[in-house]
Structure 1
């Protein structure tokens, strides 16, 4: 990425989207938090108070998404399978609605191992939200809760990666289909009588995740 001068940012663009756009243009390593504050039209004290660091601004929307997901699951009247599908769909739709920002963030992550590690930590936070909900609202065993929570996040991430490669691909529809198949394997009559352990590798696509889940269930 080339080191280009900052372009001015209008008031509606201030915030994470503008910061990510600037980072993608200038380069993550070549940009300081002070550069970002100037780029988005904030004072440095306001920027640090709101975001903390240039690393934090990359993932700023996840704090909001996690809060909204927790509230949705806590207040929903849907059955557990429908609830986790709805929650995951809303997260994906957020990223699709901000297509340019989502693509630029992915480019930045590809160039920074440290940011990819941070992304894994954030993924684990989503798993914890789903796990807490499933523990409270289903009869799944602890291992099943962990396996299902990890698989939900893995399928979401695989869906988003596919869409990043092909924007014409119907990501939301395919996410809902894959999560429906996944939850049917766990949240079905008799599912609370079995224990399922699944290893989900980072980078696996949705079909691989589902195949691993089915293989584990068939082995019971």
Structure 2
């Protein structure tokens, strides 16, 4: 198994973003200028604009890094599809919660600022596109067209639900929790993600309603044995 690609974001870039988020939380989104943020991260205004672009870009910088990291991981991994999707999603969550204070401040800023909620929807669609591109590449032949889009949206939904639970102190280990729930989700799509799942067969049993449970189980077991021969 090849090593995962190194994180895309450098530590000092995250520190700059976190410092800017703290300044925004202190002064308020509307009241904070780009100059204020440049001062907070120790840059000139022109350097700040070259590095981040805008106030919104600072807030979502970790998401940009997470998207780049996710895309690089899915492009290079040799893990089985379900394992790759679970691990890639957990890596995104690890990056977003690595600084708990900044993560919580970001959440509050987005909750209180309509323009940031709109930008969050755009970010959500970008994650979905990255997942869907990978799923279409690895899915089994004759997989329905809707599978990639539906699974991609579900992966993002489970990730976001786990992140909200972590922010509200409902879970302490967010990456572990998201992998647990993603395993349950991905099991529903196994027939389209793995050759083994695609060849699973379903046995339908018809039995006398008056039969005892032992008789029903014995009949089912006999049929399974006959199918296996």
TM bucket, shorter chain: 0.7 to 0.9
Is the 1:33–1:54 contact (alpha carbons within 8 Å) kept by the matching residues of 2? yes
Shift of 1:163: 0.6
Q: Deviations along 1:161-200, whole A, 9 cap, x unmatched?
A: 0010016533222211110011110123239xxxxxxxxx
Name 2:147's counterpart in structure 1. Answer: 144
Given the alignment of the two structures, is residue 121 of structure 1 paired with residue 156 of structure 2, yes or no? no
Residues 13, 173 of structure 1: alpha-carbon distance in 2 compared, 3 angstrom cutoff: closer
Is the 1:155–1:175 contact (alpha carbons within 8 Å) kept by the matching residues of 2? yes
- TM-score (norm. length: structure 1): 0.78
- Runs of at least 5 residues in structure 2 that lack an aligned partner in the other structure: 1-11, 192-196, 200-229
SS in 2 for 1:97: coil
- Aligned residue pairs total 182
Name 1:97's counterpart in structure 2. Answer: 98
Shift of 1:21: 0.5
SS in 1 for 2:125: helix
- TM-score (norm. length: structure 2): 0.75
Name 2:74's counterpart in structure 1. Answer: 73
SS in 2 for 1:15: helix
SS in 1 for 2:20: helix
Question: Following superposition of structure 1 onto structure 2, how do residues 1-220 of structure 1 map, counting pairs within 5 Å?
Answer: 15-139=16-140, 140-166=143-169, 169-188=172-191, 189-190=197-198
SS in 1 for 2:53: coil
Is the 2:165–2:171 contact (alpha carbons within 8 Å) kept by the matching residues of 1? no
Could you tell which deviates more after superposition, 11-20 or 152-161? 11-20
Residues 44, 14 of structure 1: alpha-carbon distance in 2 compared, 3 angstrom cutoff: farther
Instruction: Tell me how far apart the structure 2 counterparts of residues 162 and 130 of structure 1 sit (CA, whole Å).
Output: 22
Residues 50, 186 of structure 1: alpha-carbon distance in 2 compared, 3 angstrom cutoff: same
- Runs of at least 5 residues in structure 1 that lack an aligned partner in the other structure: 1-10, 192-220
Shift of 1:13: 7.8
Shift of 1:59: 0.3
